[in-house]
Amino acid sequence: MGQSTSSVACARSKQEEAGHQELDQNKMQGKDFSFQVPDECLSCIFQKLSSVDRKTCSLVCKRWHWVEGQGRQRLSLFAQENLLSALPKLLLRFEHVTKLALKCDKKLISIDDEALFIIGRDCRQLKKLKLKGCKQLTDDGMEIFARVCGPLNKISCGSCGFGARGLNSILQHCVNLEDLTVKRLKGLYEGPSELIGPGSGKIRRLCLKELFNAQLFGPLLAGSKHLHTLMLSKNSGNWDKLLDIITEHLPELVELHMEKLQLSDRGLQAVARCKNLEVLYVVKAPECTNVGLSAVATGCRKLRKLHVDGWKASRVGDEGLLSVARACNDLQELVLIGLNATMTSLSPLAASCLGLERLALCNSETFGDPEFSCIITKCQSLKKLCIKSCPISDQGMEVLATGCPNLVKIKIKKCRGVTPASIDWLQNNRESLVVTLDNGIASTTTDLPRPLPPGANRAPRISAPQNRSPLAKARLAIVAGGSFVACTFLRWSSPSTSGSSSPAGA
């Protein structure tokens, strides 16, 4: 029995030795074991890697170079003029790209119409295209590209050279286009421009930003019957009249963002016609008052998210918020900036909006400890809370020990009445609550550490805030190195442990 066992063990050792010899022989012969992995599996592995790691792996061998290129669906290129010569071979390698970004620096010469034609001709699976800083693109180039490109459904263009005619070509020939973003389009400023039509009318998301004559998009807005999301930011012109016209034709509008527009209560009253509106941002519109907000609340009863920034005008207050409390019972997120809300409106708001989960109150002179206590006591569904530049104090923070049972995170910014001592007390009473404090003295936000169990010792932690001055950084370095310096001095002054007698002992 012993001999048979030893013979089996001897056979196994011989097999292992033979296997190691074969492995060493394969290494010596330069055999690539990755060939046992199918191309599909290798491509899936590459897709799990970061962009840097993918580029590194593509340089290992010709097969990895080819497989990585065939499996890449997103590609970002520096769209300088010398890109034209490399485009044919580059697009042959990345022939399955569905999302392409072409970006060029403002001070350099970008790609021209010929390069864009090659992209439209060779990228047959392209669905998303982003153009930024391509000043050499013209209306003629965009028209040719629109005729030869694949099934595009999303286009974003910023600081480019073409204008209204180029956009109309895209809208007419790209029949699958659903998402359009236009920012700082240079071609719209040169001479008289034609109106921008609806094209196929399939646009569902439209973003217009920093346009001098965004009124040209009126026909596109009115003709996009299926528009779901509309974002308007820093566009000149009177938007009251345009909103009065287009809102009658947008029955499916769900999300509307308006920032730094010439907008008054008349525009908000026009928005109130959008009965299916669920998300509304009114940011930095000082001419809007309680009348406009009340109209929106009455007309848009399905609101889930509401952001109102009064921009220090103080023309929206309790009256408008009371209308929101009465009509918008499905509200889940509410952000109020520069509004002087009091108990008169906050108490009904907290009582009626039972599903409110996220709340932010910023730059309010009337939101003090009583208002804070009201919110914490009545908003039982609240999960995230942000208070900034409001006159609350340590006394008001005490209610957080038992209120808002579902609260997960709270941010306190630039509220000078709240001290770190109250935050420490709060974390000792609610360890699961994440608290962020910036009392306005430090230049950055500091996440306070979680309290340790009784009897445990915490190692000192010094975090270096951002945006510090050079003098502050030097002081911080001295403080951080204090423990090392102290230990060094202590070692120098203590008796030697090598066995030799110290001067003190002599």
**pLDDT for residue 487:** 39
**pLDDT for residue 205:** 97
What is the spatial distance between Cα 134 and Cα 113, in angstroms, rounded to a whole number?
Answer: 10
Residue 199 dihedral angles phi and psi, to the nearest 5° = 65, -130
Residue 435 DSSP one-character state:
E
More confident residue, 464 or 126: 126
SS3 letters for 305-323?
EEEEECCCCCCCCHHHHHH
Residue 437 pairs in a beta bridge with 412, 446
What is the spatial distance between Cα 229 and Cα 419, in angstroms, rounded to a whole number?
Answer: 42
What is the spatial distance between Cα 310 and Cα 263, in angstroms, rounded to a whole number?
Answer: 12
What is the rounded average pLDDT of the residues 183-205? 86
Residue 10 has pLDDT above 70, yes or no: no
Least confident piece of the model among 2-16, 45-59, 96-110, 277-291: 2-16
pTM, two decimal places:
0.77
8 Å CB contact between 371 and 346? yes
**pLDDT for residue 7:** 57
What pLDDT band is residue 253 in, cutting at 50, 70 and 90?
very high
What pLDDT band is residue 444 in, cutting at 50, 70 and 90?
very low
What is the spatial distance between Cα 193 and Cα 187, in angstroms, rounded to a whole number?
Answer: 9
Question: Tell me: the pLDDT tens digits for 86-121?
Answer: 999 888 888 889 999 999 998 899 999 999 999 999
DSSP 68-89: HHHH--EEEEE-BGGGGGGHHH
- Amino acid letter at 306? L
Q: How many CB atoms lie within 10 A of CB 494?
A: 10
What is the rounded average pLDDT of the residues 344-369? 94
Residue 154 pairs in a beta bridge with 128, 179
Cα first-last separation, the chain: 75
8 Å CB contact between 388 and 413? yes
More confident residue, 307 or 10: 307
Could you give all domains of the chain from N- to C-terminal order, each with its CATH number? 238-355 (3.80.10.10), 357-450 (3.80.10.10)
8 Å CB contact between 296 and 272? yes
Residue 389 DSSP one-character state:
S
Question: Tell me: the pLDDT tens digits for 138-152?
Answer: 999 999 999 999 899
Residue 55 has pLDDT above 90, yes or no: no
More confident residue, 233 or 5: 233
Least confident piece of the model among 30-34, 226-230, 265-269, 492-496: 492-496
What pLDDT band is residue 474 in, cutting at 50, 70 and 90?
very low
What is the spatial distance between Cα 25 and Cα 171, in angstroms, rounded to a whole number?
Answer: 62
What is the rounded average pLDDT of the residues 297-313? 91
**pLDDT for residue 284:** 92
Give kind and range of the element (H or E) at residue 334: strand 333-337
Longest CA span, the chain: 102
At 357 the three-state DSSP class reads coil
**pLDDT for residue 488:** 35
Q: Distances in Å between the alpha carbon of 459 and those of 256, 454, 484, 489?
A: 49, 15, 14, 21
Q: Name 125's Cβ contacts closer than 8 Å, sequence gap at least 6.
A: 95, 96, 97, 98, 150, 151
